[in-house]
Structure 1
Amino acid sequence: MTPAPERGGGTAPAPRRVRRFLRHNGLGLFFLTAFLLALAGQAVAGHAEFNDQLVSDGMAPIGFGTYVMSSDFAVDVTENWQSEYLQFFLYILATVWLVQRGSPESKEPGRAGTESDKGQRAGRYATEGSPRWAAATDWRGFVYSRSLGLVMGTVFLLSWLTQSVTGVAAYNEEQLRRLQAPVSWTEYLTAADFWSRTLQNWQSEMLAIASMAVLAIYLRQRGSPESKPVGASDSATGVEG
């Protein structure tokens, strides 16, 4: 017999639990699905483009599975990942110390810095619902209070390293097709190909952050926490709708 749902914390029927899970995690699930669809589309389009290039060079095309496992596909993926995580890493750190008056993406002027334990509900000011490490006053508290930036920065560095490794492999494959000498990994790190791939992504990410921080001063998106309330003053800072 299926147990009836209870307001006081009883077990809800499975369909209701699924609906609740989807409702409570819709934002993450939406973007995860969009990511997978975009990645699949990139693989299909990249495979077609890569085979077109092979045919034009007088070589036989390769299968889809071979392309997805190739360094050419890997470098195209990781060069975007590293720039995205760099964007968030810099944004997280910059918003600790820098402010933008009137932007909901910024703290209020005068609040720059890591703030007090009381304001952050850390250490002895942690509450009953705070994460366990938030109350720690040793290395655990130090690490946890900076864990978001540490993880974002680590993923950025690992993605960038992966881009360089897969990039040199893809670059050398192209060099060999042109009957030119391959280069070492250290030589590739100073090559125009590596920095062209890197900087074309970095500049777009920096522009996107600057645009969001400044445009959100004057423009609104009703109901979005990334926007101020529709009727909020342009000079209101750190206010979310």
Structure 2
Amino acid sequence: MKKSFIYKNSLSIVFLALFVAALFGQTIFGWKVYNSELADVGQRPLNLLYYLRSGHFISATFENFQSEFLQMMLYVVLTIFLRQIGSAESKKLNEKEPVDRDPIPTLDAPRPVRSGGWRLKLYKHSLSISFAFLFVFSWAMHLVGSFRYYNDELGMVNKPSIDLVSFISKPDFWFESLQNWQSEFLSVASIVILTIFLRQKGSPESKPVDAPHMETGK
């Protein structure tokens, strides 16, 4: 029986829908919070379009993005080399796995595999490169947003603004970044360790329910 487009893409569709809903909620509530801050210092509220360009919105949005992409970049790269006995998230301790084999340029292989050369060399690392780019971009946008918001707060109390170099040397930006990074590192450590002992029937992130605790990999 032929499966529908929605069935075949339901995992990405659901997560993208959840993302859009959460981002919409963050935007509306963040807008209200920021306008409340402006009202407290006697300034006029921003309309929604102006809020979307504000440091408050940019900082809050990309502060979360950058930590997620950092987590995924490190997870993709570190799982190449590092192991955790018993974890469903680890490669096996002493065996080669399908992801380790050299690519074979079959007819249905991706085009870079069939092309070979520099395209193949780049494609072999394209996932980690993409996550690294997304992390650096999100980190830079978080920095720009936080810098704007910090100076906006100074302006609210009639204090002079500071330059970017002075801002990045302050603890505010690094506090925002590290409080997100530590939560992502903890979440990865949790799934790596908990999948040693706990199971979820039907999930590809779990080992089979009857698998021994010390069996490594799925």
Q: Same fold (TM over 0.5)?
A: yes
- The residue aligned with 1:50 is 34
2:160 is matched with 181
Match of 2:48 among 59, 64, 73: 64
SS at match of 1:110: coil
Q: Which runs of 4+ in 1 moved over 6 A?
A: none
- Indicate whether 1:120 and 2:104 are aligned: no
Distance 2:202 2:101 in 1: 26
2:76 is matched with which residue: 92, 96, 101? 92
Kindly tell me: are residues 157 and 180 of structure 1, through their superposed partners in 2, closer, same or farther at Cα, counting changes over 3 Å?
Answer: same
**Secondary structure at 2:31 match in 1:** helix
Paired AA for residue 211 in structure 1: S
Structure-1 residue corresponding to 2:204: 225
Match for 2:163: what amino acid?
S
Higher Cα Rg, which structure: 1
Shift, 1:236, TM fit: 1.2
Q: Which residue of 1 aligns with 2:141?
A: 162
Contact 2:54 2:148 in 1 (8 A): no
Within the candidate set 63, 75, 78, 2:62 is matched to: 78
| Cα separation, partners in 2 of 1:136 and 1:120, compared to 1, 3 Å | farther
- Number of residues of Structure 1 aligned to a counterpart in Structure 2: 218
Q: Normalising by the residue count of structure 1, what TM-score does the alignment of the two structures yield?
A: 0.85
Listed as ranges, the matches of 1:10-25 within 5 Å are 20-25=4-9
Matched with 2:171 is 192
SS of the residue 2:4 aligns to: helix
Are 2:209 and 1:237 equivalent residues in the alignment? no
On the 8 A contact 1:121/1:127 being kept in 2, the answer is no
Partner Cα distance (2:114, 2:209) in 1: 37
Note the alpha carbon deviations across 1:143-202, whole angstroms, 9 max, x for none.
100000000000100111111112111111111112222111122222111101111100
Q: Within 1, Cα distance between the matches of 2:155 and 2:80?
A: 48
Over 3 Å counting, the alpha-carbon distance change for 1:130 and 1:229 in structure 2 is same
Cα distance in structure 2, aligned partners of 1:100 and 1:167? 37
Distance 1:128 1:109 in 2: 32
Query: Would the aligned equivalents of 2:87 and 2:217 in 1 still touch at CA under 8 Å?
Result: yes
CA contact (8 A) 1:83 1:156 kept: yes
User: CA 1:111/1:57 → structure 2, altered by over 3 Å: closer, same or farther?
Assistant: farther
Alpha-carbon distance change, 236 to 107 in structure 1, aligned in 2, over 3 angstroms: same
Structure 2 residues without counterparts, runs of 5 or longer? none
What is the aligned counterpart of 1:153 among 91, 110, 132? Answer: 132
Deviation at 1:69, TM superposition (A): 2.6
- Higher mean Cα deviation, 136-145 or 199-208? 136-145
Q: CA deviation at 1:111?
A: 4.8
Give the aligned residue type for 1:120: R
Counterpart contact for 1:75–1:166, Cα < 8 Å: yes
- Residue type at the aligned position of 2:65: W
**Aligned equivalents of 2:14 and 2:45: distance in 1?**
35
Query: How many angstroms does 1:65 deviate by?
Result: 2.5
